[in-house]
Amino acid sequence: MDTPVEGFSKRSKAEKIAYIAEHFTKDPEASKKLLEQYWNPDPAVQKLHDEFIENTISNYYLPFAVAPNFLINGKLYVIPMAIEESSVVAAASKAAKFWLDRGGFKAKVIDTEKVGQVHFIYKGDVQKLQHFFEALKPKLIQGVSSITQNMEKRGGGIKNIELRDLSDKIEGYHQLHCTFETLDAMGANFINSCLEQFAKTLKDEAASYANFSPEEQQIEVVMSILSNYVPQCLVRAEVSCPIAQFEEGGISAEKFLRAVNIAKAEPYRAVTHNKGIMNGVDAVVLATGNDFRAVEAGVHAYASKDGQYSSLTHASIKDGIFTFWIELPLALGTVGGLTSLHPLVKLGLEILQKPTAKELMQIVAVAGLAQNFAALRSLVTTGIQKGHMKMHLMNMLNQMGASESEKQQLVQYFKDRTVTNASVKEALEKIQSQ
Where do contacts with ligand MEV occur on this chain (CB under 6 A)?
A: 85, 272-273, 275-276, 279, 375, 379, 384
**Min. distance of Cβ 379 from ligand MEV in angstroms?**
6
Alpha helices in 163-291 (DSSP H): 188-207, 243-247, 253-265, 267-287
253 vs 312 by CB, closer to ligand MEV: 312
Q: Is position 291 annotated as part of the catalytic site?
A: yes
User: Among candidates 303, 378, 304, 364, which has minimal Cα distance to 332?
Assistant: 364
CA 353 to chain centre: 20
Kindly compute the dihedral angle of the four CA atoms of residues 373, 377, 379, 384, in this order, to the nearest 10 degrees: -90
Q: How far apart are CA 69 and CA 93, in angstroms?
A: 7
DSSP 8-state symbol, 311: -
SS3 of 35, please?
helix
At residue 257's C-alpha, the angle toward residues 254 and 262, to 5°, is 125
179 vs 279 by CB, closer to ligand MEV: 279
Annotated catalytic residue, options 273, 314, 388, 390: 388
Residue nearest ligand MEV (C-beta atom): 276
Q: Which helix (H) or strand (E) holds 299?
A: helix 292-303
Q: Is position 204 annotated as part of the catalytic site?
A: no
28 vs 267 by CB, closer to ligand MEV: 267
Annotated catalytic residue, options 291, 314, 359, 390: 291
**Min. distance of Cβ 88 from ligand MEV in angstroms?**
7
CB atoms within 10 A of CB 51: 10
**Min. distance of Cβ 223 from ligand MEV in angstroms?**
35
**Min. distance of Cβ 378 from ligand MEV in angstroms?**
7
**Min. distance of Cβ 388 from ligand MEV in angstroms?**
7
183 vs 237 by CB, closer to ligand MEV: 237
Q: How far apart are CA 425 and CA 397, in angstroms?
A: 8
Q: How far apart are CA 329 and CA 317, in angstroms?
A: 25
Q: Is position 174 annotated as part of the catalytic site?
A: no
For 113, residues 6+ apart whose C-beta sits below 8 A from its C-beta are 159, 179, 180, 181, 230, 232, 233
317 vs 384 by CB, closer to ligand MEV: 384
Q: How far apart are CA 393 and CA 412, in angstroms?
A: 11
Contact 351, 76 (CB under 8 A): no
Q: Is position 300 annotated as part of the catalytic site?
A: no
SS3 of 156, please?
coil
**Min. distance of Cβ 67 from ligand MEV in angstroms?**
15
199 vs 284 by CB, closer to ligand MEV: 284
**Sign of the torsion formed by the C-alpha atoms of 372, 376, 379 and 382:** negative
Annotated catalytic residue, options 275, 300, 392, 407: 275
Q: How far apart are CA 126 and CA 265, in angstroms?
A: 41
110 vs 380 by CB, closer to ligand MEV: 380
Annotated catalytic residue, options 85, 165, 327, 406: 85
**Min. distance of Cβ 387 from ligand MEV in angstroms?**
9
Residues serving a catalytic function are: 85, 275, 291, 388
